[in-house]
Amino acid sequence: MDWGLVDERLIRRGELLLSLDFLEGYDYELSLLNDGKIGRPFKITDRYIVFLAVVRFSMPYRRIEGFTRALSRLIPRLTTILMVGGVCLI
């Protein structure tokens, strides 16, 4: 059995249609987070992290990877976050 192919099919199942209403005010929230910040600026907002956490616990692991890939294609300005063993990789 080709496990790479099986994994890729499971990942593609996570590519689904979704409402992007959670992004309303994304740029404003990001500017507030970075206002007066010293050092490296934030690239993603807290609401985006919470959104992915909610999605993460409602889907199997491979499907969440496909979901984040599809989301980053829809919204190129967002960094893809992959949940690997409960750790966010940016």
One digit per residue, the tens of pLDDT, for the chain of length 90 reads 788 888 887 777 666 555 566 677 888 888 999 999 999 988 788 887 877 777 778 777 777 777 777 777 766 665 544 444 444 544
List the domain boundaries for the chain: 3-89
User: Any residues with CB less than 8 A from the CB of 22 and at least 6 apart, and which?
Assistant: 47, 48, 51
Q: CA-CA distances (angstroms) from residue 53 to 4, 36, 64, 83?
A: 25, 27, 10, 9
Torsion of CA 69, 56, 86, 50, to 10 degrees: 100
Q: What SS3 class is residue 29?
A: helix
